[in-house]
Structure 1
């Protein structure tokens, strides 16, 4: 915080620039890249201690974005795409392309290089102006896709606590190294990623209502706890003073529909929890796409009224297998019974 004051008084140099490339998804003929241009606030997720963790959280939310910055994106075949950030520093490339699958690695990830493309930019840019971005193209061997929530589904968060105080405390004062996954969750997800054949490389999509400010934090958690790598789809952090139009559809519904539309020939497994509205959202999606959802798994959270409500919803739902489970082992056993995993 002292650093911010010194910079405003011009007693300290401005922070260098960086580009966050988010893990997105696309197809052989559809390039879809997301990210954000912003100043490097010195966030270091490997640091421990309450002061360091709080400092990281503060600077993740108090980000200095680069509005209307010109960017250049280079694909592995040296094809170049140009784009520009919006008023909040976000960029999105959403366009037709050809032959993208041939440029991916064995897990279906297209690696791209991001750079600032402004000759008038005089400030120091990190990494020699070379930053990474990634886009997932599902393997042709894929048997189905997996769409999962994050909070209280794979990451112990506390979204059902009064005024979400546990979420706030965990975010501000708990480092990513000390955040706990649910027992057996990463093993279950790995099995789903491998599929019935054992090497299907089924695509993973992590969809959360968490803001993009926590992208690096959640990316580190997923990697650190051995969950399969996948597209991470968060939302813009809105404030009471935000003047941008509010989305017509809630974030999760919008993102899940986009995934299903992007891969019209693929079926999906949906995973969430009973803490908020995952049951309502997933049932709505399954009714809208009755032949596309292979199974729904909802982790039972420690909240009697919400569990009771979700159990009532599932008792009336018969379109596809839908289970309220207390642990990952129960879900894994069911997935094996219906032929999703080995």
Structure 2
């Protein structure tokens, strides 16, 4: 069904985009995303827009005000075909304005670094990129919705209400998630966040995480634009599985801790990842929000355990935190 919808709506979207983009804007801006590293490259990511959209959260703002601000984040005017330059490396923004640059990795770099990039006839800025420490013991991939931040993703209506009527000041980060992530950071484990939320929310989520005291970490979010093959860019599971594959390939020497929740059936996604990458999954941790794990989730958890992978699951992360 999604493939059929993509075939129908993608030409329509391109028609409207073509009408809207017929004239190249006089100036553009770069929406910067946090980058990551592979053994050979640093990977810089961002998006070129006509202007940046940012919310201005106010304590005790009405839900209507918050809704208006959240909707504005999705009304982006992306600019395709713009040349992006970082040193001697160049790239071109795609039809949704996204770009990815692969630069040679400096062997001396580790931790957070910045690289200056510029857009053709437009903005220039510094993009931040994270390189894991050379003595990293393992790596961590964590879901966001109902794993780190309460969203009610297990209920579509609750999720929409929470996501669209909250602000960066009102969104709730689980304290035990902050404690767990900080413990990983203290052990020098690189952390990566994966979510089905759109890239439009990258800066919004960064503000929430910073306010809550979560370690700064690259995010792998989702393009909600249409393509000729995908309607809303694939499924939650496919997106998360693909991000895990990318990160495992980027850290060939490390095992991984996978953290998620049962609200969106992460156990199946992580089970499939463990089967694709035998010997690479160190531990799996699940939060059980709402009504908890269902029979399918519990069966997948047992299947992960049968592979010899330790699994912790429950309504919170206290058992994991108290076990050390």
TM-score exceeds 0.5: yes
**8 Å Cα contact 1:301-1:307 kept in structure 2:** no
Match of 2:119 in 1: 116
Deviations 1:57-109 (A, max 9, x none): 12211110111112222xxxxx34222111110001135x142x4345xxx12
Cα shift at 1:202: 1.2
1:281 to 269, 290, 302: 269
Gaps of at least 5 residues in structure 2 are 1-24
Match of 2:319 in 1: 330
Tell me if 1:35 matches 2:70.
no
1:307 to 294, 298, 308: 294
Match of 1:235 in 2: 222
**8 Å Cα contact 1:311-1:324 kept in structure 2:** no
Query: 1:143-162 maps to which residues of 2 (within 5 A)?
Result: 143-161=137-155
State the TM-score, normalized to the length of structure 2.
Answer: 0.83
Query: 1:41-190 maps to which residues of 2 (within 5 A)?
Result: 41-48=52-59, 49-50=61-62, 51-73=64-86, 79-94=87-102, 97-99=104-106, 101-104=107-110, 108-118=111-121, 129-161=123-155, 164-190=156-182
Match of 1:340 in 2: none
Query: Structure 1 residues 160 and 42 mapped into 2: Cα distance closer, same or farther (>3 Å)?
Result: closer
Match of 1:26 in 2: 37
Cα shift at 1:16: 6.3
**8 Å Cα contact 1:41-1:59 kept in structure 2:** no
Gaps of at least 5 residues in structure 1 are 1-13, 74-78, 119-124, 196-200, 337-342
State the TM-score, normalized to the length of structure 1.
Answer: 0.79
SS for the counterpart of 2:294 is helix
Deviations 1:295-332 (A, max 9, x none): 1000011125x434322322343221012122121122
Cα shift at 1:56: 2.2
Cα shift at 1:42: 4.7
Cα shift at 1:54: 2.2
Kindly report structure 1 stretches of 4+ aligned residues shifted beyond 4 Å: none
1:17 to 8, 18, 28: 28
Match of 2:209 in 1: 222
Match of 1:6 in 2: none
1:262 to 246, 250, 256: 250
Cα distance in 2 for residues equivalent to 1:43 and 1:72: 25
Moved more, 246-255 or 313-322: 246-255
Cα distance in 2 for residues equivalent to 1:218 and 1:270: 20
Match of 2:241 in 1: 253
Query: Structure 1 residues 158 and 16 mapped into 2: Cα distance closer, same or farther (>3 Å)?
Result: farther
**8 Å Cα contact 1:286-1:293 kept in structure 2:** yes
**8 Å Cα contact 1:210-1:234 kept in structure 2:** yes
**8 Å Cα contact 2:54-2:204 kept in structure 1:** no
Cα distance in 2 for residues equivalent to 1:165 and 1:45: 25
Cα shift at 1:15: 10
